[in-house]
Amino acid sequence: MGQTVTIDPVTRIEGHAKITIHLDDGGAVEDVRFHVTEFRGFEKFCEGRSFWEMPGITARICGICPVSHLMASAKAGDAILGVKIPPAAEKLRRLMNWAQYVQSHALSFFHLSAPDLLLGMESFPAARNIVGLIQAYPDVARNGIRLRQIGQEIIRILGGKSVHPSWTVPGGVRQPLSADDRDTIKRMLPDAFDIIEIALDLLKDSFESFAREIETYGNFPSLFAGLVTPDGGLEHYDGLFRVMDSDGKLLEEGIDPARYRSIIEEAVEPWSYLKFPYYKPLGYEDGAGMYRVGPLARINICDYIGTPRADRELRQFRRLGERGKPVASSFHYHYARLIEVLFALEKIEETLESDDITSTRVRSEAGVNQLVGIGVSEAPRGTLFHEYHVDENGILQKANLIVATGQNNLAMNRTVRQIAEAYITGGKPGEGLLNRLEHGIRMFDPCLSCSTHAVGQMDLQVTLVDRHGTVIDRLTR
């Protein structure tokens, strides 16, 4: 008789999830599943609300990356108004977005993953958290807390609140930046640069001792997708959508992200509330259309980063992959994340020097001019799509959101399977192994409070698989 081991709940991730491992009679791994157990239904209950309310409502999808939803939602609103927002407003939005990368990536690295990296994957569970880190490595913990604080503080200075600021709105932003506040932000940056350098050293020093993890934690070929600037640079706020295969070949060079439906489709499995988006041209079968988004994907698909210090790191990062190919190990999400923090800090510094950064012209006024608005932005965890269909009064008739974490669902499932197969040699796995599986999920920094709101209006495929992995039913609409 085979047995099932359940990890419930998966902890130190941003959301609600379980992992099940199905073992066969001989104790070998038969199947591993990452189940997302939360469901809230945003797109449906937003029907009937005004698009003006959407940034405020959709920010509540996620308290970790509310700014991402503010950006995508406000950009969808810009499209409904049919306006180009003032240049200072775009710079200010980008500033807040980069500040969010700083706080969110600091949270992921220091608060959630560093306990595994510094205390050990198999260390005592009750102390394997930020509190244990404060005790064992107080300087590291304090640095993490400080880096996250700097990101949150910039958001608060710009928007009045660090979580759910009601500042980014269709047409621009509500409040300009004062010269005093600009200077306050500037004064925080040297500290942040010091901390990110320490974090980069810390992580790179760990590569040698984590060689086996790098090999077995989500190391497989897949597609990578995300936004890039029109000339191929790293991009977080706007840009074109690019898809790269595991050989480094571009399958989509740079398409208008508003056309996302032509290349992304979603499947549903009966054992998770989270859908399974895939790259449509290659299909769902055997994970052929599996793609990864987020820091690793963005750093892999861009031709260059565009700031001096981050570009230097990029050259080191590229050496981790086979020549000319993207870096395949998901363990390097950690590295990519830190490179993005460095980039964000450099961009914040550069942007604060713009002549018009304190301009008071920060909002374009208009009414409803388009009945469909699609807003796309890069959230810390990957590409975020908001699509709104409104009536003449701006009342939502239909909404579709695709969030980053959903797009990593196939890859996260593949990752937990790969780790289980590598570390289970027969019989019931020990506690340390369970934490390894969870770390596999943590690398993706999934945001499950975000991920379970996607209501696909697209083609939908449901696959039923029996315990032997045989497809017994498939329904498509």
Partner 1 sequence: MKQHAKRKKIRLATAWLGGCSGCHMSLLDLDERLVDLFQAADLVYSPIADIKTFPEEVDVTLVEGAVANVDHLELAQQIRERSTIVVSFGDCAVTGNVTSLRNRLKVDDLLTKVYQEGPGKAPRGLEEDRIIPALIPKVLPLHQVIEVDAYVPGCPPEPDAIWEAVNALLHGAPVRLKQEMRYFG
Q: Which residues bind partner 1 (CB under 8 A)?
A: 6-9, 11-16, 18, 20, 35-41, 43-46, 57, 60-64, 66, 107, 111-112, 125-126, 128-131, 134, 138, 141-142, 145-146, 148-149, 152, 161-164, 268-273, 435, 438, 449, 455, 457, 460, 462, 464, 475, 477
Q: Are 157 and 337 in contact (CB under 8 A)?
A: no
Q: Rounded to the nearest whole angstrom, what is the least distance from the CB of residue 412 to partner 1 in the complex?
A: 16
Residue 376, Ramachandran bin (φ over 0: left; ψ between -120 and 50: alpha; else beta): beta
Q: How far is the CB of 414 from partner 1 (least distance, A)?
A: 19
Q: Nearest-CA neighbor of 270 among 439, 135, 430, 460?
A: 460
Question: Which CB atom, from 72 or from 302, has the smaller least distance to partner 1?
Answer: 72
**Cα separation of 385 and 393, whole Å?**
23
C-alpha–C-alpha distance, residues 364 and 360, integer Å: 12
Round to whole Å and give the CA distance between 182 and 189: 11
Q: Which is nearer to partner 1, 271 or 356 (CB)?
A: 271
- Cα 294 to Cα 51, 352, 381, 421, 443: the distances in Å are 27, 26, 4, 25, 10
Which CB, 36 or 263, lies closer to partner 1? 36
Report the alpha-carbon distance of residue 455 to residue 360 in Å, rounded: 38
Nearer to partner 1 by Cβ, of 64 and 79: the residue is: 64
* Least CB distance to partner 1 at residue 152 (A): 6
Indicate the residue among 40 and 318 with the shorter CB distance to partner 1: 40
- Shortest reach from residue 145's CB to partner 1, in Å: 6
Q: Which is nearer to partner 1, 303 or 473 (CB)?
A: 473
Find the shortest distance in angstroms from Cβ 314 to partner 1. 30
Cβ closer to partner 1: 337 or 453?
Answer: 453
d(CA 227, CA 234): 8
Residue number, 339 or 384, with CB nearest to partner 1? 384
Which residues is 241 bridged to in the sheet? 227, 255
Minimal distance, residue 18 CB to partner 1, in Å: 6
Which among 342, 90, 327 is positioned nearest to 221, based on CA atoms? 327
Between 88 and 274, whose beta carbon lies closer to partner 1?
A: 274
Q: Which residues 6+ apart lie within 8 Å of 351 measured at CB?
A: 91, 94, 95, 98, 357
Q: How far apart are the first and last CA of the chain?
A: 37
* 28 versus 145: smaller Cβ distance to partner 1: 145
Edge-to-edge strand list for the sheet holding 291-292: 250-255, 240-244, 223-228, 291-292
* Residue with the two structure tokens 């945001």: 447
Cα angle, residue 298 at apex, residues 143 and 245 outer, rounded to 5°: 145
Angle value at C-alpha 242, between 236 and 243, nearest 5 degrees: 125
Residue 386 Cβ vs partner 1, minimum distance, rounded to whole Å: 16
Vertex 90 angle, CA 84 and 96, to 5°: 145
- Between 140 and 225, name the residue whose CB sits nearer to partner 1: 140
Shortest distance, position 446 Cβ to partner 1, whole Å: 12
Considering only CA atoms, which of 443, 451, 401 is closest in space to residue 418?
Answer: 443
Min dist. Cβ of residue 60 to partner 1 (A):
4
- Whether the CB-CB separation of 228 and 302 falls below 8 Å is answered with yes
Given a contact cutoff of 8 angstroms between Cβ atoms, the answer to whether 189 and 345 are in contact is yes
In whole angstroms, the minimum distance from the beta carbon of 146 to partner 1 comes to 7
Q: In the bound complex, what is the minimum distance in angstroms from residue 430's beta carbon to partner 1?
A: 14
Instruction: Quote the least distance from Cβ 159 to partner 1, whole Å.
Output: 14
Task: Pick between residue 14 and residue 238 the one whose CB is nearest to partner 1.
Answer: 14
Beta strand 250-255 with 460-465 is unpaired
Contact (Cβ atoms closer than 8 angstroms) between residue 21 and residue 420: yes
